[in-house]
Chain A
Amino acid sequence: GAVVSQHPSWVICKSGTSVKIECRSLDFQATTMFWYRQFPKQSLMLMATSNEGSKATYEQGVEKDKFLINHASLTLSTLTVTSAHPEDSSFYICSARTGFTGELFFGEGSRLTVL
């Protein structure tokens, strides 16, 4: 199957700093990428949908200025958590698809810990 890679897999940062998480589709072109957040022992909550070359569409309640999403190419989307605070600590997962095949391919996830 198609491979989606996230980097870094684990990041620790100080409160007030910004952190960038990358999501890459390694062997296919991803027209659409999705970013999810998962709290411990909970389900995945969709944060935003990004299409290559256009602005991301954020879900209700997700702060656009805090979670900056860029989808500059067909193989790369980035999530930047700006001015991170301890409550932003979570597991962030990206997924990607090409066209509308009905299947999403997930990255390995990135664990963010804000001290």
Chain B
Amino acid sequence: AQTVTQSQPEMSVQEAETVTLSCTYDTSESDYYLFWYKQPPSRQMILVIRQEAYKQQNATENRFSVNFQKAAKSFSLKISDSQLGDAAMYFCALLGFGNEKLTFGTGTRLTIIP
């Protein structure tokens, strides 16, 4: 079984500031992917960033970066220079190579304060 835990139901950040969303996970898989997805009010799931577990280097996509701590099973998302368009629900997710199932956390609602 695999689980994904997001302990922050809601977060808010001032526009242009930096915010970090937390995620911890558990899996028996030795190989897996971790993702952060964004779900805006339109409900369309949008991939924000992806991390392969075998890679030690933290993934980065423009203003989005992750802090992947494999031993601690932690995968946090840092959003720099927050913009109004970043307001959304953010889901952390894990995909195990063996079971091929994408398991989502409960989500963190991010509000951007102008």
Contacts and interface: CB of A to CB of B under 8 A. Distances in A.
Interface of A: 1, 32, 34, 38, 42-44, 46, 49, 91, 93, 95, 100, 102-104, 106, 108-109, 111
B100 A49 contact: yes
Chain A at the B interface: SS class: strand
A102 B33 contact: yes
Contacts of B107: 42-43
A44 B91 contact: yes
B33 A109 contact: no
Interface of B: 33, 42-47, 50, 52, 91, 95, 97, 100-107
A104 B43 contact: no
Contacts of A42: 106-107
A91 to B, nearest CB: 6
A37 to B, nearest CB: 12
B43 A103 contact: no
A21 B36 CA distance: 26
5 contacts: A42-B106, A43-B104, A44-B91, A93-B45, A102-B33
A111 B100 CA distance: 26
Contacts of B97: 100
Given A93-B43, A106-B44, A108-B44, 17 more contacts: A32-B100, A34-B102, A42-B106, A42-B107, A43-B91, A44-B45, A44-B91, A44-B104, A49-B100, A93-B45, A95-B102, A102-B33, A102-B50, A103-B50, A106-B45, A106-B46, A108-B42
